[in-house]
Amino acid sequence: MKGTLAIGILVLLVGCRSAPAPCSVGNLLSEYQESIVHTRQKYDGKEISVRGLALSAATLPLNGAEQGSVWLRESAGETTGEVSCWFSDQQAADFSQIRSGQQVTIRGVFNGEGGVQLKFCRLVRVE
């Protein structure tokens, strides 16, 4: 009984949305590449935190655009692919801190319909 409980707790801690620390971009991309259907069932519409390397400075919403974006990849480069993070113009000041090559942690709502995307993002941390 204790072993089953311990395994159950461990399983909860491994997922991106329930882990106390953010999941890495690489882990999220690997999970998505392994099974798009499973990953979407697990995360679609849920808020998660991810940590990765900014490919460039954030693209800020300009000229009436409502959203900006930043693209993240795994810092170790072991996985292929990128995670797109979309944020509102209200978050632009925070996202303007991001420079190419910085490690960042972002929290947003997962959408796996057209790749790995986070929407309604908030910047949690820039390292």
In whole angstroms, give the CA distance from residue 106 to residue 43. 15
Per-residue model confidence as pLDDT tens digits over 80-107: 789 999 999 899 999 999 999 999 999 9
Rounded to an integer, what distance in angstroms lies between the CA atom of residue 112 and that of residue 84? 11
Q: Please, what sign has the CA dihedral across residues 31, 54, 48, 111?
A: negative
What backbone torsions phi and psi does residue 17 show, to the nearest 5 degrees?
Answer: -80, -20
> Maximum Cα–Cα distance for the chain, whole Å?
60
Residues 2-126: name the CATH superfamily. Nucleic acid-binding proteins (2.40.50.140)
pLDDT, tens digit, 9 for 90 and up, residues 27-42: 999 999 999 999 999 9
Q: Where are the domains of the chain?
A: 2-126
| Direct distance between the N- and C-terminal alpha carbons of the chain, in angstroms, rounded to an integer | 42
Tell me the per-residue pLDDT of 39-56, one tens digit each, with 9 for 90 and over.
Answer: 999 999 999 999 999 999
The model's pTM: 0.79
Beta-strand runs (E) in the chain: 23-24, 47-54, 67-73, 83-88, 103-111, 117-126
Greater model confidence, 111 or 11? 111
Q: How many residues does the chain have?
A: 127
Which pLDDT does position 58 carry in this prediction? Answer: 92
